[in-house]
Structure 1
């Protein structure tokens, strides 16, 4: 890359400030130094970026197009430098985290010991809610949300995703048999959600499509309740991997109809308001959570 960051900065500052002298003052350089930087940049790009007159500077069409990219590059560098500054700090203070109860129990709680050992000065406060909450009203710094995000003014960061699988306990399968196809599920006890109804659309390929609408014989509002019912042999369930990876590892729940299962991954996001005072705490927590979640996706 021939262009330097100093040249990009000189160019964008001249445009923002309206003159070479104003840019020089803002950057703590000489006007001649800024002028030379602009000339070098135009020479390297082999285009004219600014039309210079005795009274003003005016962007050319090429200059306007290049300015957008220059600003984007400078913003990315600034963000990277800020992240490094955050990492050098010692994060401290209270961090309030909200997530659905199953996610807190199966994804967050197992990580708390390691997180606190690494960041002993962060005071975590965990709250569980299966409903979408108002962060300000609930005095929450970070909320973890599973599934597609709604339009929001919140800042969002992807933490990964988690597969959905159709599962049953060995005891249930021994008593009722293993379904030999998707339609055979009609003869089995199915465990489903009270709401939203979309959670009762299982990712199973059949003759009418890639989504199978179930009619549960037993409903529950909580995924954790459904998990416990499945472990007790009450029926067949469809749950995300982050809830069941240990159950499957131990053989307490086994996947069925794998050959009919369509890969559907539920996105996992952290949402929060931009708050400089909280930046280091939020960044540390989400970095740690993201790295650990990959092992249970």
Structure 2
């Protein structure tokens, strides 16, 4: 007996939801039907995929292997359907986009009125994740990522680059004085990230090398939180131009130690999972973001 896509989808949904009852709600079925489909799938494969008790479920070794294959098959099926249905009509359907909150707020949200006007049949779902996510597991079509990409399983398109700078509010500098050399930072309140620790390596000329290790007084997981703290005079931060260019233009944030700063450019990329031709709703969004990147301010297309 051969397996089918309904069994694949049911299995993946149960794993993602963590419970048969929740998966049943998502699939629009009753829990007993979902359980029967799982049992039938395991019978066909001749293995146990999920070790289930009344309190919990856990993937077996065979289940881990089959889960990856099932996700891949479902993704290919969706891509094939999208390709066939997109040929003769305007881009449409649900588009799930994920980005870190600073990029979402400063580089995506301001342009969404234009995008929605161009493509009124696309239904947008925007989510914020400060770290990298599994696109397939989270059912995300496009993620906007900042920095060097490490996941070779994903395809990527470079949107542009944005420079890092040390910034502080005029109010903070009036209170604490402008630092004149890198060593002066030891006497200042610094704002940094909780993780990864590498984000607290600032691009400064110093005796320790090209990355000066900051010891933040306040740490946050989001660059937007750090930006808000800097705007409120809580200290000096190292942030990218894409999220602070308007603050700099209006004088709300001022560059610190500009002559001692080593030019450091962060890449901004649209990443997506692709095994077949891209669905038009994904393709037009990526094209649109490339178009808007040059208009967002704080970004340029290539490193100088």
Give the alignment's TM-score, normalised by structure 1.
0.68
Are 1:136 and 2:127 matched, yes or no?
A: no
Which structure would you say has the larger Rg?
A: 1
Q: Distance in 2 between matches of 1:155 and 1:105?
A: 24
Q: How many residues align?
A: 212
Shift of 1:233: 0.1
Q: Deviations over 1:154-205 (max 9, x none)?
A: 1111111111010000100111100001111111000011110110000111
Q: Which runs of 4+ in 1 moved over 6 A?
A: none
- Structure with a larger share of its residues in helix: 1
Counterpart in the other structure of 1:48: none
1:200 aligns to 2:205 (yes or no): no
Please name the residue that 2:185 is paired with: 185
Structure 2: 5+ residue runs without aligned partners? 1-85, 300-304
Which deviations, in whole Å up to 9, do the C-alpha atoms of 1:199-257 show, x marking residues without a partner? Answer: 00001112332221111111111111111100000000000111111111111111111
For residues 25-65 of structure 1, the C-alpha deviation after alignment (integer angstroms, 9 at most, x for no partner) is xxxxxxxxxxxxxxxxxxxxxxxxxxxxxxxxxxxxxxxxx
Q: Distance in 2 between matches of 1:151 and 1:129?
A: 16
Residue in 1 aligned with 2:268? 268
Q: Structure 2 CA distance, aligned partners of 1:140 and 1:184?
A: 44
In structure 1, runs of 5+ residues without a counterpart are 1-85
1:224 aligns with 2:217: no
CA separation of 1:274/1:168 partners in 2, compared to 1, >3 Å: closer, same or farther? same
CA distance in 1, matches of 2:108, 2:170: 27
Which residue in the other structure is 2:248 paired with?
A: 248
> What is the TM-score when the length of structure 2 is the normalising length?
0.66
Q: Cα distance, 1:277 vs. partner?
A: 7.1
- For the residues of structure 2 that align with 1:88 and 1:191, how far apart are their CA atoms? 52
Matched, 1:283 2:268: no
Change in CA separation of 1:178 and 1:275 when aligned onto 2, cut-off 3 Å: same
> Aligned to 1:189, what secondary structure does the other structure show?
coil
Q: Is the 8 A contact 2:166 2:237 kept in 1?
A: yes
SS of residue in 2 equivalent to 1:173: helix
